Amino acid sequence: MVDIFGSMVDVRPGRAGGPAAESATVSSLRQRNRGQVLAHILQSGRTTRGDLARECGLSFASATNIVGDLVAEGLVHETGSIASRGGRPIAVVEPRPEGAYLIGADVGERGVAVELFDLSMTRIDREFRGGRDEESPETIAHDLDDALAALRERHGELWPSLVGVGLGLPGIVETGPDGEQTLYAQSLGWDAVAVRDLIHADVPVFAENGAKTQAMAELWFGAARGVQHALVVLLGRGVGLGIIADGRLQRGATSSAAEWGHTKIERDGALCRCGGRGCVEAYVGAGAILDAWRNTGASFEGSGWNAIGELLDAADAGDPGAVAIVDDVLRTLGASLGSLVNLANPERIVVGGWVGLRLMERLGERLLDAVRANSLERPGSAVDLIASTFGGDSVALGAAIMPLESLVREPLAR
Ligand SMILES: [Zn+2]
């Protein structure tokens, strides 16, 4: 289960002195149990009170009480029953889709995708804005507000149940002591941007680095669910990573942990968009891969999904230029991810992002071989490597998990 309370202090009753402190700890404990039960129902999609008691370490009576509270909150409901061994029917509990709504936005270098989810995390609507050659904080802010207004126009009746908006952003997102968040998008050449200037919403706004929100999506609902130690790789135009250790996403001292795209693979190597040299992104970012292919004299359509597909097709057909580039990408990824395996000792590497998904369509085995060839035998043999569960929309889905976590931490004030 996702440990969303990992940073909270131990609040077992009776630890702190005085009746007031005791009552505060009891209510914290109730809140924590409520959160655990709700998170489990959301993640499993379908469960029973008995399962909840077992999974959350609660008595059957406590689990029953909490489910009752969540039914009263409108967040879960009974959807039928299954037969028990004794023949007595056992009620099935599921998230109530219309119980709450969440918005997640993927803010990229080529536009914004703003997606509306119900509480079963089914996407019910989507707005895309973009198509410019270059984005700026001002164009992003304009597009986010515009997309949000369009969704509200169509779904105004849901707004009272909207928990908040999560933004997956293309850079480091820091949270100050006052809770104010700031985006540092060095690779895009932007000055520091206050998140509150990026979107104007009358609901809570949460922001995080896009690679980290992708990792959240995989951790809650995808290929990293139930995995205690994982690397969630984002390969697209930008190159990013989420590190999961002890079941939790790692953020570091100021939230820039796992900026893998800007770790060095070559001393004094290729110039990177961040201004540094020899960064991983300067070799395996979509731009770098396609530039290398273009330099062999190849001509192809566009700079996205189809172009990478054409490169892989050409390599499969034996085109020597394409073969050399694909080999090079695998060797670079193998060396860099192999080093990460030695550092982090993950059980699993999840590969996502649109370039990553294209590579995983046919090169997953070769990539794992390259990783193992570049890691020590023991940690190398302990890791597997699979494609991400969620495709191109994982950043938006992961961003919507930020308001979802806030709902898990405390009830929505309606
Ligand atoms: Zn860099």
- How much distance in Å is there from the Cα of 273 to the middle of ligand 1? 6
CA distance 386 to 381: 15
Same domain for 124 and 245, yes or no, is no
Measured in angstroms, how far is the CA atom of residue 328 from the centroid of ligand 1? 18
CA of 149 to the centre of ligand 1 (A): 35
If we measure between CA atoms, which residue out of 110, 212, 196, 208 comes closest to residue 145?
196
CB 273 within 8 A of CB 190: no
Give the pLDDT confidence of 298-320 residue by residue, as tens digits.
998 887 899 999 999 999 999 99
Closest CA to 303 of 237, 399, 227, 382: 237
Beta strand 239-245 with 181-184 is unpaired
- Per residue in 204-229, pLDDT (tens digit) is 999 999 999 999 999 999 999 999 99
Same domain? For 303 and 346 the reply is yes
Q: How far is the CA of 272 from the centre of ligand 1 (A)?
A: 5
Ligand 1 centre and the CA of 369: distance in Å?
26
Q: Looking at the structure, tell me whether residues 331 and 277 fall in a common domain.
A: yes
Question: Average pLDDT in the 39-64 region?
Answer: 96
Q: Are residues 377 and 321 both part of a single domain? A: yes
Report CA(336)–ligand 1 centroid distance (Å). Answer: 14
What are 206's two structure tokens?
């949460």
Ligand 1 centre to CA of 109 (Å) is 16
CA of 400 to the centre of ligand 1 (A): 28
State the distance from the centre of ligand 1 to the C-alpha of 63, rounded, in angstroms. Answer: 49
**Do 279 and 152 have their domain in common?**
no
248: in domain: yes
Q: Please, what is the Cα angle at 148 between 144 and 152, to 5 degrees?
A: 170
Q: Which domain holds residue 131?
A: 100-215+394-409
Helix (H) or strand (E) holding 28: helix 19-44
The answer on 280 and 260 residing in a single domain is yes
Same domain, yes or no, for 167 and 28? no
CATH of the domain at 185: 3.30.420.40
List pLDDT tens digits, range 345-381.
999 999 999 999 999 999 999 999 999 999 999 999 9
pTM for this model (two decimals): 0.91
Spacing, Cα 275 to ligand 1 middle (Å): 6
- Please return the burial class of 122, using the count of CB atoms within 10 Å of its CB with bins 0-12, 13-18 and 19+: exposed
CA of 280 to the centre of ligand 1 (A): 7
Quote the pLDDT of residue 134.
85
- Count of domains for the chain: 3
Does pLDDT of 411 surpass 50? yes
Q: How far is the CA of 180 from the centre of ligand 1 (A)?
A: 26
- What's the distance, Cα to Cα, between the start and end of the chain in Å? 28
Q: How far is the CA of 271 from the centre of ligand 1 (A)?
A: 8
Ligand 1 centroid, distance to 322 Cα (angstroms): 24
